Amino acid sequence: MSFVTVTDVWQRYGTRSIIERVNLEVAEGEFVSIVGASGCGKSTFLRLLLADETPTRGEIRIDGGKPAREPGRERGVVFQKYSVFPHMTVRDNIVAAECFPTGLGRFFGVKRRAARARADETLERIGLAHVAGNYPATLSGGMQQRLAIAQALTARPRILLLDEPFGALDPGTRLAMHDFLTELRSQTAMTVFMVTHDLSEGFKLGDRVLVFDKPRWDPHAPEAFGATVTYDFDARDDGVPYQHILDRYPTLAAQ
Amino acid sequence: MRLINRRPARPTAVLLAALPFVAVMVAYWVGSEIRLAANPADKLLPAPETVATTARRLFTEGDRRSGEILLWSDTWASLRRLGIGVGIAAALSTIIGVAIGMLPYARRTLSDFVAVLSMVPPLALLPILFIVFGLGEASKVVLIVVGITPFIIRDLSQRVLDIPHEEIVKAQTLGASTAVIALRVVLPKILPRLIASVRLSLGAAWLFLIAAEAVAAESGLGYRIFLVRRYLAMDIILTYVIWITLLAFLIDWALKTLSRRAFPWLEAGL
């Protein structure tokens, strides 16, 4: 059962090939980590998933829908930086996820109070209730990313895209964020794509780890060929998926 | 210790800040003293006491013919023109600047045009403005608008382009339309810049105002200065110049305070 379908996607800027021949099927609720060397096109691939860019060739469909031409509410995103609005308070950042689709991008009266109450509940859950009235710049990096994730999830996207979300955090905070994300996922069963530099992070959080690399390389024209998915690991059960297979399918055991 | 690492302590800093002001006053006073010693009827550099007496008279005594205090009516006339001109310029440039910064179609259509427009020397257009809009208020207001709008538009549109792409994408993933992104993300983020930009263009706005008033007006600070110039009334001119400087300083200070009060998030991270 494929939820996100990527069919023969190529991306080229002028004569520079970035991504070529990417085919992918992702089931609903899967957590896909994307790793690879710098400049191997993993962020480009995320932008394609986000529909911030349109692929030169091929298409990306979510749940069989039409390929998107611009970002929308189907896709939630958290970037490494600039993920929350600095001119809105922490509470308003959450409310924004609800009121942005309205005509003026604002709630008034009863609706506004209700949205603020819901936002306060969310903040309570993610442990940011005590800074609800502050501006994001006063928050630590970890708190800002927690807010960014909560904001993205408040809009109830079909897929969540994370672009090196914990890249700028210190190791301790990063571990806390892993727990936070794992807990959120156990509650919502979201489909997640996460680009990361950190292999262990990719394996720890992901159900699947995709490695982007260039399979073809012309030394006279290094930009002629793009990257594609060269490995597709099953990362469940700490990357050794079959060690517990007997627990799952006891009938397979030797009689 | 290197010169770049030497910092004045508090009392020295205050003293240093006051130094240029005191120096200019002393220089004027000495010059005026020398000229008045040679010729007591000299009008070029009136004694500071004379300027002070004149200033008191100008601020408090009414005109002999009409009874109204000319300095205040001049101030009112000038500030009105300045306010309307700068207000229209700010409103116009916010709309056009946001459009250029956000919409690729508007950018292609307008940005080169605005760049060329900002090269036209506004004062060279003054005769045309007088011919088209007459000698009344309109031509003076239009001169200010024409003079400062292109600059503010270019500044603001660049600021809109400087907004991180991530924030715009984020707003889209939350379902915001173009209008909502303009209202809730772009406008709040560039309003502080608009105030800063207006502060920077106020000097130019005063210049255009005084120039327009000097050429043709019936009241206004610039008009008065150029009127009394015929009688070599340096004491009146100096009073007006100091008054204009003070007004400009106060407006600048008010805008700075407004910006700090209205946009607390700007300094939140500091």
Tracing tokens 């950190």 back to the chain, one arrives at A198
A130 in B contact zone (CB under 8 Å): no
User: pLDDT by residue (tens digit) across B23-82?
Assistant: 999 999 999 999 999 988 888 889 899 999 999 998 888 887 887 888 899 999 999 999
Nearest Cβ partner for A100 among B169, B174, B188:
B174
User: Considering only CB atoms, which chain A residues are within 8 Å of B170?
Assistant: 77, 79, 82-85
Restricting to B residues 227-266, those with a Cβ less than 8 Å away from any Cβ of A are: 263-265
Q: Cα–Cα distance between A233 and A52 in angstroms, integer? A: 27
Over residues B94-107, the mean pLDDT reads 95
**Rounded to whole angstroms, what are the CA distances from A161 to A74, A130, A192?**
11, 27, 6
* Nearest CB partner across the interface for B176, out of A52, A75, A100: A100
Instruction: Point out the residues of chain A with pLDDT beneath 70.
Output: 1, 238-243, 255
Shortest distance, CA A49 to any CA of chain B (angstroms): 12
Q: Is B104 on the interface with A (CB under 8 A)?
A: no
The beta-carbon neighbor of B174 closest among A73, A82, A137 is A73
Q: CB under 8 Å to A162, separation ≥6 — which residues?
A: A77, A78, A149, A192, A193, A194, A195
Average pLDDT, stretch B157-182?
A: 93
Buried b / exposed e along A57-70 (16+ C-beta atoms within 10 A): ebebebeeeeebee
**Cβ-defined contact of A101 to B174 (cutoff 8 Å):** yes
Are residues B186 and B228 in contact, defined by beta-carbon separation less than 8 angstroms?
Answer: no
Confidence (pLDDT) at B252: 94
ipTM: 0.87
Least confident among B149-153, B197-201, B214-218: B214-218
| Residue B164 in contact with partner chain A when CB distance is under 8 A | yes
pLDDT above 60 (res B270): no
Smallest Cβ distance to B171: which of A100, A135, A136? A100
**Residues contacting residue B193 through CB under 8 Å, at least 6 positions apart:** B155, B156, B159
Helix (H), strand (E) at residue B128: helix B122-133
Q: Which domains does chain B have, with CATH numbers?
A: 76-257 (1.10.3720.10)
| Residues of A in Cβ contact (< 8 Å) with B193 | none
What's the Cα-to-Cα distance from A159 to each of A23, A28, A53, A181, rounded to whole Å?
Answer: 18, 9, 17, 14
Q: What is the DSSP string of A114-165?
A: HHHHHHHHHHHHTT-GGGTTS-GGGS-HHHHHHHHHHHHHHT--SEEEEEST
Helix (H, G, I), strand (E, B) or coil at A60: strand
| Residue B86, min C-alpha distance to chain A (Å) | 26
Radius of gyration, CA atoms only, chain A: 20
Q: How confident is the model at residue B165 (pLDDT cuts 50, 70, 90)?
A: very high
Interface of A with B in 19-48 (CB under 8 A): none
3-state helix, strand and coil shares in percent for chain B, rounded to the nearest 5? 80, 0, 20
Given this model, what pLDDT does residue A229 score?
A: 87
B17: tokens are: 């800040």
Mean pLDDT, residues B242-266: 91
Contacts of A83 in chain B (CB under 8 A): 166, 170
Beta bridge partners of A160: A76, A192
In this structure, the strands spanning A31-36 and A191-195 are parallel
Q: How confident is the model at residue B269 (pLDDT cuts 50, 70, 90)?
A: low
CA atoms of B193 and B196, how far apart (whole Å) = 5
- Give B195→chain A minimum CA distance, Å: 16
| Whole-number Å distance between alpha carbons of B11 and B212 | 43
Residue A151: C-alpha distances to residues A62, A135, A144, A168, B85 (Å): 21, 14, 10, 19, 42
- Average pLDDT over every residue of B110-120: 92
- Note whether A77 contacts B: Cβ–Cβ < 8 A: yes
Residues 6+ apart with CB under 8 A from B31: B45
Residue A213: both structure tokens together: 């690399």
Residues counted in chain B = 270
State whether residue A165 sits within 8 Å of chain B by CB: no
Position A104 scores a pLDDT of 86
CA distance A56 to chain B (A): 20
Compute the average pLDDT of residues B208-226: 90
Length of chain A (residues)? 255
CB count in 10 Å sphere of residue A39: 11
- B135 or B198: which leads in pLDDT: B198
pLDDT at A88: 92
CB pairs under 8 A between A and B: 90
B198-207 mean pLDDT? 93
What pTM value is reported for the model?
0.85
Higher pLDDT, A188 or B202: B202
Contact B166 A81 (CB under 8 A): yes
Do residues A34 and A151 make contact, with C-beta atoms less than 8 angstroms apart?
Answer: no
Instruction: Answer yes or no: do B170 and A134 touch at CB < 8 A.
Output: no
pLDDT-based confidence at residue B148 (cuts at 50, 70, 90): very high
CATH topology for A4-83+161-252 is Rossmann fold (3.40.50)
